[in-house]
């Protein structure tokens, strides 16, 4: 589905941004926020800032990078792992069509290595979940229409990867595959598209699995529970009445999850808002806890959800190209009351707001506003009161900020 959305966005985003090579500089032992500025199709530049808005490095890597360990240039359709790392090693997911993982040390601006997970087709990787030092899981959203020509070339799965490198093994290795669809009910003419995932302290991997047909019409969505040791689906939950589910985040108590469902897509750039919701799921036992729907709003929720604290999540509402044009909003949702408050609204440009990471113990979250070239800091207190601070992001390549994550030690206010 996201390949379709990107195709629509290509009509309104610049694909001819000059590919320049900024002065790529690392930041030593600093910590803060990673800012990926992209055209969502071809070009990208990644910089760093601290939580006060000070730019630490305007570029640590870009589409024009040429350096040791770097064999495949970054595209514009990027993602970061949904599980935030406290390391200075940044994992960059170049989703479609490249399907390449890049490991970058932001302290030195050096690429450790890269790995293609395409295995003969545009796999469209969507998430990366570390399990141990030598084992990570990667969700491949798309499937191969003509598999059987090389190892691990089926798709629609979780790849198992050993990310370690040494002089004798200079590149990470694909070591296995989890067939998600084999552990879920048959989808008839629909196909499993594993999306975002979370590893919880119970040792299980929770994967959001929407189903789509070849026309990008969406069907049912499931939450699949995978045992990382046996590499098998051991249980699942049907997310009833919603469709196009994708984003996931772990509650502060680590015993429940929030899942973002964008609605029923029917081969166009607009989903049915009546089948969109943010759904809360308990993991022990596996069942739905709460649900916040779209109400009378014609806009469905977006592809990402993040806990700001135990009671509030942040999610986008998707705009529309129109006519008339509908702006995106980012909303603070009270999961107890089932109400939401608009935090920011895009400036006449749909599909230009995105939810970044939150440091939930601090009530500190970051958002990206590509329509204004701004990074937005949200500070939420225990009473549910919030303050917003906006920082301009002047990308050296002229791209717009669209994607955020943390790097280094846990952030402070």
pLDDT tens readout for residues 281-291: 999 999 999 99
Q: Is residue 412 domain-resident?
A: no
Among the listed residues 233, 317, 208, 316, the one whose alpha carbon sits nearest the alpha carbon of residue 273: 317
Residue showing tokens 């600093």: 30
Confidence of residue 71 (pLDDT cuts 50, 70, 90): confident
Among the listed residues 267, 367, 297, 356, the one whose alpha carbon sits nearest the alpha carbon of residue 244: 267
Q: Is residue 128 domain-resident?
A: yes
Among the listed residues 299, 303, 317, 411, the one whose alpha carbon sits nearest the alpha carbon of residue 366: 411
Asked if residues 53 and 377 have their Cβ atoms less than 8 Å apart, the reply is yes
Model confidence over 110-127: pLDDT tens digits? 999 999 999 999 999 999
* Total tally of structural domains belonging to the chain: 1
Is 90 exceeded by the pLDDT of residue 64? no
Confidence of residue 70 (pLDDT cuts 50, 70, 90): confident
Peptide bond into 285 cis (omega under 30): yes
Q: What is the pLDDT of residue 67?
A: 66
Q: Is residue 413 domain-resident?
A: no
> Phi and psi dihedrals of 362, rounded to 5?
-100, -10
Strand order in the sheet with 277-283: 245-250, 256-261, 277-283, 286-293
Q: Is residue 63 domain-resident?
A: yes
Give Cα separations from 155 to 21, 193, 243 (angstroms).
34, 9, 21
Q: Is residue 250 domain-resident?
A: yes
Residue showing tokens 């051991």: 234
Q: What is the pLDDT of residue 13?
A: 36
Please return the burial class of 108, using the count of CB atoms within 10 Å of its CB with bins 0-12, 13-18 and 19+. Answer: middle
C-alpha Rg value of the chain to the nearest Å: 20
Q: What is the pLDDT of residue 186?
A: 83
Q: Is 6 strand, coil or helix?
A: helix
Among the listed residues 81, 41, 75, the one whose alpha carbon sits nearest the alpha carbon of residue 61: 75
Model confidence over 321-378: pLDDT tens digits? 777 888 999 999 999 999 999 999 999 988 899 999 999 989 999 999 999 999 999 9
Model confidence over 21-58: pLDDT tens digits? 456 666 777 889 999 999 998 999 999 999 999 999 99
The whole-angstrom separation of Cα 343 and Cα 80 is: 23
Is 80 exceeded by the pLDDT of residue 268? no
Q: Is residue 256 domain-resident?
A: yes
Is 90 exceeded by the pLDDT of residue 267? no
**CB hemisphere CA count around 267 (13 angstroms):** 4
User: Which CATH number goes with the domain that contains 142?
Assistant: 2.130.10.10
Among the listed residues 157, 60, 149, the one whose alpha carbon sits nearest the alpha carbon of residue 102: 60
Q: What is the pLDDT of residue 271?
A: 87
Is 50 exceeded by the pLDDT of residue 5? no
Give the range of the structural domain holding residue 70, as residue numbers without chain letter. 2-407
Q: What is the pTM of this model?
A: 0.92
Span 68-97, average pLDDT: 90
Average pLDDT, the chain: 90
Residue showing tokens 């200075």: 88
Beta strands in 50-99, from DSSP E residues, in sequence order: 55-62, 78-79, 89-94
């Amino acid at each position: 589905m996201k390949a379709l959305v990107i195709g629509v966005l290509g009509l309104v985003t610049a694909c001819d941004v000059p590919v320049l090579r900024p002065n790529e500089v690392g930041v030593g032992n600093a910590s803060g926020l990673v800012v990926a500025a992209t055209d969502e199709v071809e070009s990208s530049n990644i910089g760093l800032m601290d939580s006060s808005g000070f730019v630490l490095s305007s570029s640590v890597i870009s589409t024009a990078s040429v350096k040791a360990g770097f064999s495949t240039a970054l595209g514009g359709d990027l993602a970061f792992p949904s599980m935030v790392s406290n390391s200075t090693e940044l994992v960059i997911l170049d989703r479609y069509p490249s399907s390449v993982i890049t490991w970058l040390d932001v302290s030195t601006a050096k690429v450790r290595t890269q790995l293609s997970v395409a295995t003969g087709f545009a796999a469209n990787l969507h998430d990366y979940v570390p399990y141990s030092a030598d084992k990570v899981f990667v969700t491949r959203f798309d499937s191969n229409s003509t598999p059987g020509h090389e190892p691990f070339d089926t798709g629609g799965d979780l790849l198992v990867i050993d990310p370690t490198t040494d002089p004798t093994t200079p590149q990470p290795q694909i070591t296995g595959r989890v067939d998600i669809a084999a552990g879920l009910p048959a989808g008839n003419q629909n196909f499993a598209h594993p999306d975002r995932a979370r590893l919880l302290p119970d040792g299980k991997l929770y994967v959001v699995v929407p189903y789509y047909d070849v026309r990008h019409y969406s069907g049912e969505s499931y939450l699949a529970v995978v045992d990382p040791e046996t590499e098998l689906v051991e249980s699942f939950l049907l997310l009833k009445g919603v469709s196009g589910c994708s984003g996931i985040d772990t509650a502060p108590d680590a015993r429940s999850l929030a899942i973002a469902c964008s609605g029923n897509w029917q081969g166009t750039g607009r989903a049915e808002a009546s089948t969109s919701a943010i759904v809360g799921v308990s993991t022990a036992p596996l069942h739905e806890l709460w649900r916040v729907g779209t109400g009378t709003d014609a806009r469905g929720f977006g592809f990402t959800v993040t806990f700001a604290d135990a009671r509030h999540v942040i999610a986008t509402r998707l705009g529309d190209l129109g006519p008339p044009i509908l702006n995106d909003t980012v909303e603070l949702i009270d999961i107890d009351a089932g109400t939401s408050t608009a935090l920011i609204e895009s400036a006449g440009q749909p599909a230009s707001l995105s939810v970044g990471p939150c440091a939930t113990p601090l009530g500190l979250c970051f958002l990206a506003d590509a329509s204004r070239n701004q990074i937005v800091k949200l500070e939420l207190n225990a009473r549910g009161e919030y303050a917003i601070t906006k920082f301009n992001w002047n990308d050296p390549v002229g791209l717009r900020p669209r994607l955020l994550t943390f790097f280094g030690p846990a952030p402070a206010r």
